[in-house]
């Protein structure tokens, strides 16, 4: 271990520092928010409508409907797509739990397929073996900002008459071939939780679709089954976006491509320094990864975490336990060994700090810390 580390000792690098971004956007955000207080309209107003239009245009789709969170986006789009009691929905066990929770909210059963060892995304070649007469939909998750191989997913879905709901919570602006993710399947679901690539200053979510029936159903579902007329066509939910979040998001949306380019630049720097020591993220040909997370894989993870921590550098394990082994899903009857690639990933992955404002000297320090930790074995 190198000893001349004193100058690093007071360093602190967290996974994400949103205050840096706010400093750059402060004037625009204050200007966007101020009129809302005077308008007296705080939920589902003109900023929400404008944001919906702008996000639909960004993705080149007909409709965008805002909701209260990414979890709600998944839940309400499954419901709107007609998925319900005793249906089966195929997804990945290596994701944030919200993906699978949403499936249970409509009374359906999550059916997992294992991931690809390198991309960490759902392996399309394993989908068909899981399709039964009850299967209604597939939820591909563009994990960490990496697009799922959607070509085969769509082909399988079409052949079996299944709906495809994309979980884009970590992948705003990612592209597969010439398509922005979210506009490929029947619906795309986004989260605006503050830490996401496009993050609000509170909770929020969005569904995009070209399907008029999904659009109509979600518009009603998010507002107690009614338009503004107090005529309730069915039992719905309270899942609306507020004006302040929409105004913040409209300011940030103007910069999202720049933010994503900066994330990619940071990822390239990490990879250039780390690729001999650990397994770095890969990009499939024809895809545009937006690095919501920069996730390495190493069998010597504990050592890396310790070395980073000693220098005040954060790192996080996304995700330490695949969903099929979570207590919450014990009722599904899965066991250890059912999804070996997901289990292997859980033992080896480590996400490093990444956000558009992270400086190259910080990235180099993080990478050097990892290299030092692994070379002193």
Residues contributing to the site for ligand PLP (CB under 6 A): 69-71, 95-96, 98-99, 141, 167, 169-170, 191, 193, 203, 205
Residues 74, 167: contact at Cβ < 8 Å? yes
Q: Which CB atom, from 252 or from 311, has the smaller least distance to ligand PLP?
A: 252
Q: Which CB atom, from 77 or from 209, has the smaller least distance to ligand PLP?
A: 77
Q: Residue 297: in which H helix or E strand, if any?
A: strand 294-297
Contacting residues for 196 by C-beta, under 8 A, at least 6 apart: 70, 169, 170, 172, 190, 292
* Minimum separation from the CB atom of position 76 to ligand PLP (A): 12
* Minimum separation from the CB atom of position 159 to ligand PLP (A): 26
Residues 345, 287: contact at Cβ < 8 Å? no
* Minimum separation from the CB atom of position 355 to ligand PLP (A): 15
How far apart CA 147 and CA 168 sit, in angstroms, is 9
* Minimum separation from the CB atom of position 170 to ligand PLP (A): 5
Q: How far is CA 46 from CA 33, 52, 54, 217, 334, in A?
A: 12, 10, 12, 21, 47
Q: Which CB atom, from 170 or from 209, has the smaller least distance to ligand PLP?
A: 170
Q: What is the dihedral of CA 359, 289, 114, 214, to 10 degrees?
A: 120
Contacting residues for 151 by C-beta, under 8 A, at least 6 apart: 176, 177
Question: What are 135's strand-pairing partners?
Answer: 88
Of all residues in the shown chain, the one whose CB is closest to ligand PLP is 70
* Minimum separation from the CB atom of position 202 to ligand PLP (A): 10
* Minimum separation from the CB atom of position 194 to ligand PLP (A): 10
Q: Which CB atom, from 75 or from 163, has the smaller least distance to ligand PLP?
A: 75
Q: Which CB atom, from 96 or from 329, has the smaller least distance to ligand PLP?
A: 96
Q: Which CB atom, from 114 or from 373, has the smaller least distance to ligand PLP?
A: 114
291: buried, middle or exposed (CB in 10 Å: 19+, 13-18, 0-12)? buried
């Amino acid at each position: 271990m190198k000893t001349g580390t004193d100058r690093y000792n007071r360093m602190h690098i967290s996974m994400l520092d949103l205050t840096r971004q706010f400093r750059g956007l402060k004037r625009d955000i204050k200007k966007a928010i101020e009129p809302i207080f005077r308008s007296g309209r705080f939920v589902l107003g003109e900023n929400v409508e404008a944001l919906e239009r702008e996000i639909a245009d960004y993705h080149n789709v007909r409709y965008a409907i805002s909701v209260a969170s990414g979890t709600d986006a998944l839940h309400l789009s499954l419901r709107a797509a007609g998925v319900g009691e005793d249906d089966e929905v195929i997804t990945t066990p290596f994701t944030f739990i919200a993906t699978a929770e949403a499936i249970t909210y409509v009374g359906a059963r999550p059916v997992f397929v294992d991931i690809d060892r390198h991309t960490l995304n759902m392996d399309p070649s394993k989908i068909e073996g899981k399709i039964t007469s009850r299967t209604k939909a597939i939820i591909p998750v563009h994990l960490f900002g990496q697009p799922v191989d959607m070509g085969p997913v769509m082909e399988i879905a079409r052949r079996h008459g299944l709906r495809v709901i994309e979980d884009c919570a970590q992948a705003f602006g990612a592209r597969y071939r010439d398509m922005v993710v979210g506009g490929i399947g029947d619906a795309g679901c986004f989260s605006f939780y503050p830490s996401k690539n496009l993050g609000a200053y509170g909770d929020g979510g969005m569904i995009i679709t070209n399907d008029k029936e999904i659009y109509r159903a979600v518009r009603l579902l998010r507002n107690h089954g009614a338009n503004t007329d107090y005529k309730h066509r069915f039992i719905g939910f309270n899942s609306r976006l507020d004006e302040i979040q929409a105004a913040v998001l409209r300011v940030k949306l103007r910069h999202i491509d720049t933010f994503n380019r900066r994330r990619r630049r940071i990822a390239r720097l990490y990879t250039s320094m780390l690729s001999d020591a650990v397994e770095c993220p890969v990009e499939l040909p024809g895809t545009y990864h937006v690095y919501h997370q920069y996730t390495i894989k190493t069998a010597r993870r504990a050592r890396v975490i310790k070395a980073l921590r000693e220098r005040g550098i954060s790192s996080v394990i996304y995700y330490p336990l695949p969903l099929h082994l979570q207590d919450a899903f014990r009722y599904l009857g899965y066991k250890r060994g059912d999804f070996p690639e997901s289990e292997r990933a859980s033992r080896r992955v480590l996400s490093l700090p990444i956000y558009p404002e992270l400086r190259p000297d910080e990235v180099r320090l993080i990478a050097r810390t990892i290299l030092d930790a692994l070379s002193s074995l």
